[in-house]
Copies of this chain bind each other. A is one copy, B any other.
């Protein structure tokens, strides 16, 4: 049977180039805890790609990268503004709260899980009125691509970060699917991050073909002070770090990350296009990454499940479903899905 798995890009495997890099990295001994040659090379490579000096902290989960970023930018008595649907807010079981020592996440609204600038402006204008009774507004976190599969343009990011910085906030980007947004927008990594006012980036790789590798990038070294100790006490200072860095190096090498993301995005576009003719199916968000969100009739949703297709109902909804394409989703899988849906919608 052909592949029918659209549950999540994290159910895919590992790109062969990345697996090969692990074998190559297994050459003799190396200093542990990131003091190895591969990690050093990797930092230089990230500097090139992002066209700036930066501090690099490889980790193995996006939750760790996000929570470290939040803790680094937000004291325990601080507040973090993010979209109400942000992964940070809904899917990490309180990791930002744990790492920060109890900072408060405040969810904001906006279409397609993009924070509405007017909402942010209004919220921050009223923040601080209660002095010590209120958590201090410290951090803005945006997801790129968003949890609804949309992408912020550089201009949209700049607008949000300008508001946030006007109130003294620092800005984090959850880039679990950064590559997908990047290739969709056709912008440079620099344009979508520090040039748009982003201070820290959770740079995702696992969902796009790595095995277990993410990187927390810090564009202002003053914001990296003691981040190493925070990482250690969170249990994320890996002893054989070279094997995380090797994944990231291969991921970046020769633009592999961009190729993989383009493939996944194209598959998501094909899904969206394919469902256009399906009765009762409604595309809810623009497809600007590798995910398509569809409202489906029970007949179609249940029929697809029965036919063995894997996809998840979106939390807090009754009839919205997410289809995620991966770096290696075959076009035949998309075709099968679409044909099955059309048959069911009959």
- Which A residues contact B (CB, under 8 angstroms)? 3, 5, 7-8, 10-14, 19, 22-23, 25-33, 59-61, 63-65, 67, 75-77, 90-95, 97-105, 126, 129-136, 206-207, 211-212, 226, 228-240, 243-244, 313, 315-316, 326
Distance to closest chain B CB from A177 (angstroms): 13
Copies of this chain held together in the complex: 4
Which residues of B have CB within 8 Å of A313? 129
- Asked if B60 and A60 sit within 8 Å, CB to CB, the answer is yes
**A104 and B102 form a contact (CB under 8 A):** no
Given known A-B contacts A19-B22, A22-B22, A240-B206, A92 and B315 have beta carbons under 8 A apart? no
Q: Cβ of A90: which chain B residues have Cβ within 8 Å of it?
A: 130, 134
B32 A11 Cβ-Cβ under 8 A: yes
Residue among A63, A90, A240 with max Cβ neighbours from chain B (10 Å): A240
Bound-state Cα–Cα, A135 to B94, Å: 6
Given A91-B130, A102-B102, 7 extra CB contacts under 8 A: A7-B31, A11-B29, A93-B133, A95-B233, A101-B101, A104-B105, A234-B234
Distance in angstroms from A302 CB to nearest chain B CB is 17
The reply to whether A231 and B132 form a contact with Cβ atoms under 8 Å apart is yes
Residues from chain B with Cβ under 8 Å of A136 in the complex: 226, 229
Report yes or no: B93 in contact with A77, Cβ–Cβ below 8 A. Answer: yes
Contact B232 A93 (CB under 8 A): yes
Q: Closest B-chain residue to A63, C-beta based?
A: B235
A77 CA to B237 CA, complexed, in Å: 14
| A95: chain B residues within 8 A (beta carbon) | 232-235
Contact pick for A19, options B26, B64, B99, CB 8 Å: B26
Distance in angstroms between the alpha carbons of A217 and B69 in the assembled complex? 30
Question: Are B60 and A238 within 8 A (Cβ)?
Answer: yes
Tell me which residues across on chain B come within 8 A of A7, comparing CB atoms.
Answer: 29, 31-32
Give complex CA distance A232, B88 in Å. Answer: 12
CA distance A41 to B34 in the complex (A): 32
Listed from nearest, the 3 A-B pairs whose CB atoms lie closest are A64-B235, A101-B101, A97-B102
Is the CB–CB distance between B126 and A98 below 8 Å? no
A71: nearest residue on chain B (CB-CB)?
B76
